[in-house]
Structure 1
């Protein structure tokens, strides 16, 4: 039962019953309902922003975040494995490949250096998992840089290997006349008696005495730059440019097999023994030049003779006898 309210009527000196206004009562009810709805909405918003209340969307997002963390952990584990393999490759690169080709090792500071200057990871800051994401991204960037450096190093090693192979093929490493075709080692490198003037003078090569027509072989890969008799004293001569500073000269030939501009391989026949030019008897005069200077050909016969044969040739070549040209 609703309470009855009164008011005091001063004119009549009596209490009168207050009759409620119907419209006002409805307004109060509506105001109450609005206030309750507003309060409920505010409570709902507060609950949505607390960890104690999760919507289906929040739960899905939380699962995705956990899944992302697991994926990042797996990625970091894989990067650990890549690091181990890369370290082994880098160690072999520095201490085996680059050492073999006499190339300077790449220091760890250069291989594993970060990226200075501008903050490359600013866009990844300010999130709950920023530390994890930034750390993983940095590792990935450094590994990528290491791979680029290692790739360039292997490219350099491949070029050095190719050059080394070419160098080994180009060095004049065999005798120009086979041992079975030799009559004798007539004269070696150094001061010898001139056959015509009998004066002791410097002999810039080695003389191989053999029958006229005995094959003469290129002692290393190269290009024939001369096959003529224009150089006084050498008669018919062939000059081969091997590269890497090496040249060889073959003099007193009876005839040529090679011609200027021709590419030759070690062991190719380039001409035949003769006695043209300033020569006393059929033989091959052979010279080796390195960077424009004559060097002793005896130092290069490691490609086709044994140690015993080398010792014998060395003894004969070092005798101060008379040269044949």
Structure 2
């Protein structure tokens, strides 16, 4: 039952009952209903924009975003692998191919410059995962630029190579001992501990340990200029003059399969591993000379090993261990 309301009539000095018109009651009811509806709608909109309430559409979008992040993460790992391969190719290009043809190296600032355009990634801004998408896009652009630069460089090298087939055949471009015959790469180029004096001195080549009698291969076309043991410390050794300023030396052989004055091709067997001369164990000591100066043989193994094998040999060669001669 609704409450009865009165008001005090000062003229009649009495309380008079307040009569509410039916139309006014309906108006109050409609106003209340409208206010309630507006409040409910406002509350629903606020609730939809809070993290505590998710619609099926929101859940679907959330799953799509997580899948997107996962795909970008996988793409990032793949680009990391591709980047490693590109770095190995670039190193060979600068330190091997371009050196051979007396061409200036391509600096990293040029290789990894990315693509031009100040506002190139502006369209990717303003989203929840803009940083992730932009970083991945930038890395892809850098890799794209590296591929373009490397492709142009190899095209240039190819043109030079077509005109210098004799030069390429003469370059000492393979390992003198095959990987399957190696026990290990014992010592690299640089300062190493002498096995007899235990003092560090310049080791002018690379030592490959292998069983006595293991075949030794000519690393490039050329003419055998020496096959004797008259040089101190080298024992039985062979020297091949390849031309174009290149010579290679193979030391501590057990026996020869070539003689002075003989012309050999890359891959020909010229002798066998031994331990003659100043040697601590059976191995091949191998040197590369360019214009009468000794150089690191590691830069010349591009003809018969993969990129992964090259990285492994480079790691072993750079260790400061003890040489075998």
TM-score (ref. length: structure 1): 0.51
Runs of 4+ in 1 over 3 A off after TM superposition: 160-163
SS in 2 for 1:247: strand
| Residue equivalent to 2:189 | 189
Aligned to 1:204: 204
2:179 counterpart residue number: 179
1:161-310 matches, within 5 Å, as 164-310=164-310
Give the drift of 1:175: 0.1
3-state DSSP of counterpart to 1:216: strand
Return the offset for 1:191.
Answer: 0.2
Instruction: Give distance in 2, aligned partners of 1:295 and 1:323.
Output: 17
Superposition RMSD in Å? 1.7
Equivalenced residues, count:
169
Per the alignment, residue 36 of structure 1 pairs with: none
**Cα displacement (A) at 1:161:** 6.9
C-alpha contact (below 8 Å) 2:208/2:283 kept by paired residues: yes
Query: Map of 1:81-160 to 2, 5 A cutoff?
Result: none
Change (3 A) 1:161 1:321: closer
CA-to-partner distance for each residue in 1:186-230, whole Å, 9 max, x for gaps?
000000000000000000000000000000000000000000000
Distance in 2 (alpha carbons) for counterparts of 1:189 and 1:299: 11
Q: How many angstroms does 1:169 deviate by?
A: 0.3
Alpha-carbon displacement from aligned partner over 1:85-132 (angstroms, at most 9, x marks no partner): xxxxxxxxxxxxxxxx999xxxxxxxxxxxxxxxxxxxxxxxxxxxxx
> Distance in 1 between the 2:161 and 2:220 partners?
18
- Equivalents in 2 of 1:292, 1:163: separation in Å? 25
Structure 1 gap segments, 5+ residues each: 1-100, 104-159
Task: Label 1:102 to 1:180 Cα distance change in 2 as closer, same or farther (>3 A).
Answer: closer
- Change beyond 3 A, Cα 1:200–1:224: same
8 Å CA contact 2:188–2:206 kept in 1: the answer is yes
Please report how far the alpha carbon of residue 243 of structure 1 lies from its aligned counterpart in structure 2 after TM superposition.
0.2
Paired with 2:162 and 2:308, the residues of 1 have a C-alpha distance of 32
Q: Is the 8 A contact 2:161 2:168 kept in 1?
A: no
SS state at 1:285 partner = strand
Q: How many angstroms does 1:287 deviate by?
A: 0.0
Q: Confirm or deny: 8 A CA contact 2:220 2:242 kept in the other structure.
A: yes
Offset, 1:162:
7.5
Match of 1:312 in 2: 312
- SS in structure 1 of the partner of residue 250 of structure 2: strand
SS in 2 for 1:235: coil
Q: CA deviation at 1:233?
A: 0.2
Distance 1:240 1:102 in 2: 23
CA apart distance, 1:163: 6.0
SS in 2 for 1:255: strand
Q: Tell me, yes or no, if the aligned pair for 2:250 and 2:285 is still in contact at 8 Å.
A: yes
Note closer, same or farther for the CA distance 1:227–1:161 as it changes in structure 2 (3 Å cut): same
Structure 2, unaligned runs of 5 or more: 1-100, 104-159
SS at 1:185's partner residue?
A: strand
- Looking at structure 1, the residues matched to 190 and 222 of structure 2 have their Cα atoms a distance apart, in angstroms, of 26
Q: TM-score under structure 2 normalisation?
A: 0.51
2: distance between equivalents of 1:161 and 1:322? Answer: 38
